[in-house]
């Protein structure tokens, strides 16, 4: 009975030859790795061709199929990664072969020389694997940076070139979420999830080796694999909808937080508010509850996968012991089988754990698809046109906001300029600001046309419109940076002399030069370094920087004191000599200096004409030169 239970031992003469062959294979693999590294230094091999990748952002056509546009140029890089993964996984199998040889040959026969050769070979293999993993990690980092740069620039292009009506429909929290989605896409396509997907196909190699070393355990290994696959599928099915709900709640939470932080000074003045505290805590609690519930589900499936991994070791050892007792395999084969089982179960445990990330990736891709499907404004005009004289014509212009049942602007017609100071007045909500945005080309009319010198503005790109039509919104915002950087946002070719002249024209030069750092003064968050009147003067100078023939002002004097208002009106009169200046204002001083006046009521023109004809209807008397309207 003792002889029957002794595991069969293979003859020893072939050990040295097998070891030598394996060592030669390792040397060959080391030479391949060396060639990879040399090619990398020479600009080949472990590189990503920058000319093929859309690192400057995607074109409008590419954005419609952005995932394919980004992935296609990366195929060679992923093939290199796959090749290195093949080497890594092949070397990973050597540990099981090493254990098999040690248990069945070295220990059984006392082959010290064989042990030294095997250990030396494994040392070389470990070094090669380390080099391959380092090269693969470096390549994946490069891929990840390319992916993130390309998508981020494309998203920023959407932020810069999307129609204003679409921008206004998306909160700052939406854009913050978009850039988090970019990080998620980069992580999945070039991080641990990507490496997991690259390594998964090589499980087949592990199964093949297992079938050679321990055939009786192959069916059990396949059953364990099937159990892991079912667990991963089940976790995805359970958490699919929860991921979308969590993202929506997070965007709502961030929107509330963004609103509160932007209004923090006002909230401080108002004082503690129980209703705001309740609103914040309710929004945060909803997100936290959803996130905790989803984490609970994720943790449950992760723990189940860990338990299944331990169970697989117990099952493989138990069935292997039975096979050994029935002389179907050796002790070394059982040890090697357990090592291989670990290589099988480890990626499967990661797959279950990463399934939540894959679900988030799919949702992020859907959100980016939706964003990239939005048409952009025309940026560049098809044909370069000469600077217009500044005659603005409205031909039965109507406009309605999305999801609105009534028009904000109703069949407005008229001609303004060229040249002259024209004032638009009307009650709150009459459509004055909307009409200015239509004139600037920020909104597209629902019906009718807007023309500059007889040409429909739809044909012009935003670059030309920004040069030809200066627009000062009612509540201008400065961006982080210096005063000079804000003034030159769209006009980098302005000389210092021109800059000084324009700032004097806007009434901003004196207060800017009185600052210790002058034009290099940091404006702070949204221009918080300055008073509202100072911010308005900087914004006025910014509007005049490109010397546009048409200038639109929305309540430009609302934050100015009386003296500054009168000085600014005098400057506008000078501008109006060779420019068309259109102002939304209720200032009596400005109305009496106007050349023409348009009165809006409920989105319609209630009165329009020369100032001397319209002012009496408003209870004023006209003064100054008139240019016709």
How does pLDDT run across 146-189, given as a tens digit for each residue?
Answer: 888 888 888 888 888 889 999 888 888 888 888 888 988 998 88
Q: Are residues 204 and 329 in the same domain?
A: yes
- Counting Cα atoms < 13 Å in the Cβ hemisphere of 482 gives 11
Nearest to 317 by CA among 333, 294, 295, 300: 333
Q: In the listed set 322, 344, 372, which residue is the last one of a domain according to the structure?
A: 372
For residue 380, being part of any structural domain is answered with: no
Q: Are residues 428 and 308 in the same domain?
A: no
For residue 626, being part of any structural domain is answered with: no
Q: Are residues 581 and 463 in the same domain?
A: yes
* Helices vs. strands in the chain: H and E counts, helices first: 24, 10
Q: Are residues 328 and 409 in the same domain?
A: no
From start to end of 206-268, where are the E strands?
none
- Counting Cα atoms < 13 Å in the Cβ hemisphere of 392 gives 27
Tally the residues of the chain: 629
Q: What pLDDT is stored for residue 8 in this prediction?
A: 40
Q: Are residues 341 and 400 in the same domain?
A: no
Q: Are residues 283 and 412 in the same domain?
A: no
Q: Are residues 498 and 598 in the same domain?
A: yes
d(CA 522, CA 342): 59
**Cα separations in angstroms, 613 against 55, 586, 623, 627:** 59, 17, 11, 13
Residue 50 has pLDDT above 80, yes or no: no
For residue 385, being part of any structural domain is answered with: no
Q: Are residues 344 and 399 in the same domain?
A: no
Q: Are residues 75 and 189 in the same domain?
A: yes
Nearest to 174 by CA among 14, 385, 370: 370
For residue 379, being part of any structural domain is answered with: no
CA angle 281, 358, 172 (to 5 degrees): 40
On whether the CB atoms of residues 10 and 334 are closer than 8 A, the answer is no
The residue segments making up the domain with residue 197 are 2-372
Query: pLDDT, tens digit, for every residue of 98-151?
Result: 888 888 888 877 778 888 988 999 999 999 999 999 999 999 999 998 888 888
Q: Are residues 175 and 298 in the same domain?
A: yes
Q: Whole-number mean pLDDT of the chain? A: 82
Q: Are residues 38 and 177 in the same domain?
A: yes
Max avg pLDDT among 118-122, 257-261, 562-566: 118-122
d(CA 92, CA 296): 34
Comparing 203 with 271, the larger pLDDT belongs to 203
330 CB burial (10 A radius; 0-12, 13-18, 19+): buried
Q: How many domains does the chain have?
A: 2
For residue 313, being part of any structural domain is answered with: yes
Q: Are residues 447 and 527 in the same domain?
A: yes
For residue 499, being part of any structural domain is answered with: yes
CATH of the domain at 499: 3.40.50.300
Query: pLDDT, tens digit, for every residue of 236-257?
Result: 777 666 666 666 766 776 776 7
For residue 174, being part of any structural domain is answered with: yes
């Amino acid at each position: 009975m003792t002889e029957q239970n002794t595991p069969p031992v293979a003859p020893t003469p072939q050990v040295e030859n097998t070891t030598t062959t394996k060592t030669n294979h390792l040397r060959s693999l080391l030479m391949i790795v060396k060639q990879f590294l040399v090619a990398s230094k020479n600009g080949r091999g472990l590189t990503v061709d920058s000319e093929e990748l859309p690192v400057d952002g995607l074109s409008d056509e590419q954005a419609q199929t952005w995932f394919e546009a980004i992935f296609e140029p990366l195929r060679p890089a992923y093939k290199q990664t796959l090749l290195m993964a093949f080497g890594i996984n092949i070397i990973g199998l050597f540990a099981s072969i090493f254990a098999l040889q040690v248990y069945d040959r070295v220990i059984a026969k006392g082959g010290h020389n064989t042990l030294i050769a095997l250990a030396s070979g494994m040392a070389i293999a470990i070094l090669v694997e380390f080099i391959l993993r380092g090269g693969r990690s470096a390549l994946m980092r490069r891929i990840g940076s390319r992916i993130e740069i390309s998508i981020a620039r494309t998203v920023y292009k959407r932020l810069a070139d999307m129609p204003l009506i679409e921008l206004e429909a998306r909160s700052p929290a939406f854009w913050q979420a978009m850039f988090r989605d970019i990080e998620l896409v980069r992580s999945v396509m070039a991080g641990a999830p990507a490496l997991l997907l690259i390594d998964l196909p090589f499980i087949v190699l592990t199964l093949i080796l297992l079938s050679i070393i321990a055939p009786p355990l192959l069916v059990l290994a396949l059953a364990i694999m099937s159990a892991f696959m079912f667990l991963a599928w089940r976790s995805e099915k359970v958490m699919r909808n929860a991921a979308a709900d969590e993202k929506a709640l997070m965007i709502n939470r961030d929107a509330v937080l963004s609103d509160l932080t932007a209004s923090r000074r006002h909230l401080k003045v108002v004082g503690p508010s129980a209703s705001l505290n309740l609103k914040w805590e309710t929004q945060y609690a909803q997100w936290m509850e959803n996130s905790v519930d989803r984490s609970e589900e994720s943790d449950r499936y992760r723990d189940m996968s860990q338990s299944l991994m331990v169970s697989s070791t117990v099952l493989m050892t138990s069935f292997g012991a039975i096979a050994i007792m029935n002389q179907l395999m050796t002790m070394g084969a059982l040890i090697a089988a357990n090592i291989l089982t670990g290589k099988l179960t480890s990626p499967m445990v990661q797959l279950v754990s990463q399934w939540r990330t894959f679900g988030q990736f799919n949702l992020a891709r859907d959100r980016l698809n939706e964003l990239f499907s939005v048409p952009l404004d025309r940026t560049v005009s098809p044909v370069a046109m000469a600077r217009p004289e500044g005659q603005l014509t409205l031909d039965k212009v109507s406009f309605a906001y999305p999801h609105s049942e009534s028009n904000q602007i109703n069949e407005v017609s008229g001609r303004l300029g060229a040249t002259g100071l024209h004032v638009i007045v009307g009650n709150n909500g009459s459509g004055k600001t909307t009409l200015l945005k239509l004139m600037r080309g920020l909104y597209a009319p629902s019906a009718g046309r807007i023309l500059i010198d007889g040409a429909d503005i739809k044909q012009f790109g935003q670059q030309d419109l920004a040069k030809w039509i200066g627009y000062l919104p009612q509540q201008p915002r400065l961006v982080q940076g210096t005063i000079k950087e804000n003034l030159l946002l769209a006009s980098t070719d302005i000389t210092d002399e021109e800059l000084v002249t324009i700032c004097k024209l806007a009434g901003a030069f004196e207060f800017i030069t009185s600052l210790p750092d002058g034009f290099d003064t940091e404006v702070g968050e949204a221009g918080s370094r300055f008073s509202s009147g100072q911010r308005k003067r900087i914004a006025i100078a910014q509007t005049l920087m490109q010397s546009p023939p048409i200038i639109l002002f929305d309540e430009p004097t609302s934050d100015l004191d009386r003296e500054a208002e009168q000085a600014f009106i005098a400057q506008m009169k000078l501008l109006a000599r060779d420019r068309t200046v259109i102002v939304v204002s209720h200032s009596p001083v400005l109305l009496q200096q106007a050349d023409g006046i348009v009165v809006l009521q409920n989105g319609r023109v209630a009165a329009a004409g020369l100032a001397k004809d319209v002012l009496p209807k408003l209870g004023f008397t006209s003064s100054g030169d008139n240019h016709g309207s």
